[in-house]
Amino acid sequence: MSNHSYWGVEFFSFFKIFFHQMFLLLTGKASLGSLTSDEIQILMLAMLGISCAIVGSFLILKRMAMVANSLSHTVLVGIVVALVVMRALLGDSYSAFHVDMKVLFIASLLSSLLTAYLTDFLYRVLRLQKDASTGLVFTTLFAVGIILVTLFTKNAHIGAEVIMGNIDMLHSDDLKMGFYLLVMNLSLLLLFFKEYLITSFDPQFGKLSRFSNRFFTYLLLFQTSATVIGAFRAVGVVLVLALLVLPVLTARLLTHRLYKMIILASAVSLLSALVGVALARHILSVYNIALSTGGVVVMTQFGFWGIALIFSPSKGALTRLLTRRRLKAKLATC
């Protein structure tokens, strides 16, 4: 099996082998098809990580993180409808789990529009408070999605797969999708950085400066859906939330400049992916315990957040400790 190169190696040798392989890839000496599943995982997580860092930063700043959670649930409905449509158009041979670009696009468009529209409808027309509107919409759509999945795929237990994804089933084709997502998110970031900044920081001012808050919110929602769906193959729909939120929070502890925050979040994501996959592989091959790679990566991100919490220049425990010591010293000399 192609995992030979990583099997049973020492933990840190993992990185040596990985970077060597990446070098070969970049200089054209190795092809995409020759990548091992571990390498594909890392690359996929890396690309997703950057996409999520970009999208997640603004979601958190706009206090829309739970909306992302909402979307990650309603995405299920979107995918099912898209699959049904594709199947109707292309016949029964269309495999239930092949999520390609067209499906991705339709599904993300559908889910984000539907979620946003229904939540808005409940809030504005039916006058239901915002938190209840969000909650009601996504749980109901999710329930509908499960029923639809049950009916159309004739298998009531598909659910778990969708929720957790199967990172070990990634294919080099998925890398392409991750790449396109990355390109999309990066371009939108570069194009609309100041628009996103202004509509997140001070929407009233944004309105006065004649930027449409609505447009940019919907755009962000679309980006989130697309990224969520793109990630579903790698880590499952629900773990994307961690990718969106944890690295950004970690970065926030370390800097107060927005663009630095996005870059740092990407870096943390990359690092977590590398360390996480390596760790999972190490534990499997050396201790013979099979753990979910997605789970390990998330916990690695959590670990980095914890570290950042201690060393954070603003909120860190270390800083507070040092400050307290300094203060004590000052008082002592009075």
Distance CA 77, CA 59 (A): 22
Q: How far is the CB of 275 from another protein (least distance, A)?
A: 14
Q: Which is nearer to another protein, 147 or 318 (CB)?
A: 147
Nearer to another protein, 255 or 319 (CB): 255
Structure tokens at 220: 């962000």
Distance of alpha carbon 273 from the chain centroid? 12
CB of 36 to another protein, least distance (A): 20
Cα(295)–Cα(292) distance, integer angstroms: 5
Taking the complex as a whole, the smallest distance from the CB of residue 227 to another protein amounts, in Å, to 15
Note whether 217 and 242 are within 8 A (CB).
Answer: no
CA distance 25 to 227: 25
C-alpha gyration radius of the chain: 22
Please name the amino acid found at residue 58. Answer: F
The candidate with the shortest Cα–Cα distance to 242, out of 222, 221, 263, 268, is 268
**CB 287 to another protein: min, Å:** 11
CB of 20 to another protein, least distance (A): 29
Residue showing tokens 């000052």: 330
- Our CB check for another protein shows the closer of 21 and 199 to be 199
CB closer to another protein out of 85 and 163: 163
Looking at the Cβ atoms of 24 and 144, the one nearer to another protein is: 144
- Shortest Cβ 171–another protein spacing (Å): 21
What minimum distance in Å lies between the beta carbon of 237 and another protein? 11
Q: Tell which residue, 138, 136, 132, has the closest CA to residue 77.
A: 138
Q: How far apart are the first and last CA of the chain?
A: 71
DSSP state of 93: T
- Smallest gap from Cβ 39 to another protein, in A, equals 21
Is 101 or 208 the residue whose CB approaches another protein more closely?
Answer: 208
Residue 61's alpha-carbon distances to 135, 185, 199, 215, in angstroms, are: 20, 17, 10, 17
Question: What's the CA gap between 106 and 80, in Å, rounded?
Answer: 11
Reported as type and span, the H/E element at residue 85 is helix 65-90
Nearer to another protein, 8 or 313 (CB): 313
CA distances, 253 to each of 121, 204, 314, 316 (Å): 36, 27, 7, 8
Return the residue matching tokens 């990407």.
266
Of 104 and 122, the one with the shorter C-beta distance to another protein is 122
